[in-house]
């Protein structure tokens, strides 16, 4: 005689076959909601590998159009451009120069895209400063918020003139969204959208990015990026940015901040994006290279989890490869 009654409720029914699992899937993936970050190196003659990001390269201006083509061909929604200048200074002048690498790359990308995907640019000074901070420093070596806003507005105008459709404000200065919005509007660039990296945490997971943009940082970013332990503050930053006129808000990194992402997604009136950053990429690639993890499954699961937590769009270095898998039905 059996003492355990047969279960009446059987959730396993909806997991029985691939077809039923597909039917009840809550989180589908679509290439259109992926954005590919792209590095462009000044003076590069050919694409250069990035040691800590196997499979990712620094593009040359010549190799950029093909990268845009490949992303567009598989339906990726956009690219986020980063410039790697050959020369840096204390004030990040290369960011504002119309012939600076990022602004040149933007022109090339806009032409190559021909409207097939959204060309976006990183609006921050750290790639362009010799000290590696996201702003200019005062006489005591601290990042000067309001002096930095002036650099950001000049940079925004240079990017808008180069044709960038969406500016990714990743510097974490107070008032940056309002300052840039006003400067763009005053110059007639009403149509350029602003993506605020609202909840950007002071994270160890940006490590490989330093390699990718060849930047060294003096000190750390904890006076402007968020403390990893603070959840409420992430939501607050997003609300402030929406108030200042952000068209899109972002949480970054993604994988370790899914709680913040869920909070922001629940409260936001504007689209919420998340950035799966360089360290998140490097960890999965490294473990997969050792044979310790199933690469494809880990990549798909990591991005799906970010979507499940509430991101409408994911910036990921796997955007093109993942888009191919999605199109081939390999992500079910
Ligand atoms: C700022 C910026 C960074 C990243 C995106 N925009 C660097 C930082 O804030 O330290 C990191 C992206 C990544 O790690 O993949 N320019």
In 46-130, where do the E strands start and end?
A: 48-49, 57-59, 78-84, 118-123
Residue minimizing CA distance to atom 12 of ligand 1: 277
Q: Does residue 237 fall inside a structural domain? A: yes
173 lines ligand 1 (CB under 6 A): no
- Among 37, 82, 170, which is best to mutate for testing ligand 1, by the most ligand atoms less than 8 A from CB? 170
**Whole-structure pTM value:** 0.97
Residue minimizing CA distance to atom 8 of ligand 1: 206
Could you confirm whether 296 is annotated as catalytic?
A: no
Residue minimizing CA distance to atom 6 of ligand 1: 170
Locate the ligand 1 atom nearest the alpha carbon of residue 197 and give its number. 6
The whole-number pLDDT of residue 194 equals 98
Q: What angle do CA 48, 49, 50 make, to 5 degrees?
A: 120
pLDDT in tens, 87-139: 999 999 999 999 999 999 999 999 999 999 999 999 999 999 999 999 999 99
Closest CA to 198 of 154, 233, 166, 223: 233
Give the mean model confidence (pLDDT) for residues 202-230.
95
* ipTM of the complex model: 0.97
Number of domains in the chain: 1
Q: Does residue 332 fall inside a structural domain? A: no
| Strands 48-49 and 57-59, bridge-based pairing | antiparallel
Q: Does residue 125 fall inside a structural domain? A: yes
The whole-number pLDDT of residue 1 equals 59
Q: Does residue 100 fall inside a structural domain? A: yes
CATH assignment at residue 54: 3.20.20.70
Q: Does residue 302 fall inside a structural domain? A: yes
Q: Does residue 161 fall inside a structural domain? A: yes
**Which member of 59, 131, 189, 200 is catalytic?**
200
The whole-number pLDDT of residue 332 equals 74
Q: State how far the Cα of 258 lies from the Cα of 231, in Å rounded to an integer.
A: 10
Q: Domain range for residue 156?
A: 30-327
126 lines ligand 1 (CB under 6 A): yes
pLDDT in tens, 57-79: 999 999 999 999 999 999 999 99
ω into 253 cis (within 30 of 0): yes
Q: Does residue 75 fall inside a structural domain? A: yes
Q: Does residue 128 fall inside a structural domain? A: yes
pLDDT of 248 over the 90 cut: yes
Give the mean model confidence (pLDDT) for residues 45-51.
96
Locate the ligand 1 atom nearest the alpha carbon of residue 277 and give its number. 15
H helix intervals, the chain: 18-24, 64-73, 101-113, 145-162, 176-186, 207-212, 232-244, 258-267, 278-289, 295-308, 319-327
pLDDT in tens, 270-312: 999 999 999 999 999 999 999 999 999 999 999 999 999 999 9
Closest CA to 314 of 25, 15, 37, 21: 37
Binned at pLDDT 50, 70 and 90, residue 2 comes out as low
pLDDT of 325 over the 80 cut: yes
């Amino acid at each position: 005689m059996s003492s355990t009654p047969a279960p009446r409720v059987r959730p396993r029914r909806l997991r029985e076959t691939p077809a039923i699992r597909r039917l009840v899937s809550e989180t589908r993936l679509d290439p259109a909601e992926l954005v590919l970050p792209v590095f462009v190196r000044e003076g590069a003659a050919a694409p250069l590998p990035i040691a800590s990001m196997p499979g990712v390269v620094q593009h040359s201006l010549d190799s950029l159009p093909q990268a845009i083509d490949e992303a567009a061909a598989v339906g990726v929604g956009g690219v986020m451009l980063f410039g790697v200048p050959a020369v840096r200074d204390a004030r990040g002048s290369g960011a504002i120069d119309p012939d600076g690498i990022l602004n040149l790359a933007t022109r090339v990308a806009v032409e190559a895209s021909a409207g097939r995907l959204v060309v976006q640019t990183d609006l921050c000074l750290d790639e362009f400063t010799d000290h590696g901070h996201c702003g200019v420093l005062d006489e005591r070596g601290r990042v000067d918020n309001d002096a930095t806003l002036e650099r950001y507005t000049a940079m925004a105008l240079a990017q808008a003139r180069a044709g960038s459709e969406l500016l990714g404000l990743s510097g974490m200065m107070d008032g940056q969204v309002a300052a840039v919005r006003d400067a763009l509007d005053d110059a007639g660039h009403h149509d350029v959208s602003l993506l605020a990296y609202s909840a950007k945490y002071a994270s160890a997971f940006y490590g490989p990015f330093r390699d990718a943009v060849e930047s060294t940082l003096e000190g750390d970013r904890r006076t402007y990026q968020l403390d990893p332990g603070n959840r409420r503050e992430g939501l607050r930053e997003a609300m402030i940015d929406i108030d200042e006129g952000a068209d899109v808000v972002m949480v970054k990194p993604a994988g370790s901040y899914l709680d913040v992402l869920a909070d922001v997604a629940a409260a936001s009136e504007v689209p919420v994006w998340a950035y799966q950053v360089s360290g998140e990429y490097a960890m999965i690639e490294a473990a997969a290279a050792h044979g310790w993890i199933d690469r494809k499954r880990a990549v798909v699961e990591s991005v799906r989890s970010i979507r499940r937590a509430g991101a409408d769009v994911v910036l990921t270095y796997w955007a093109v490869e993942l888009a191919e898998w999605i199109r081939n039905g390999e992500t079910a």
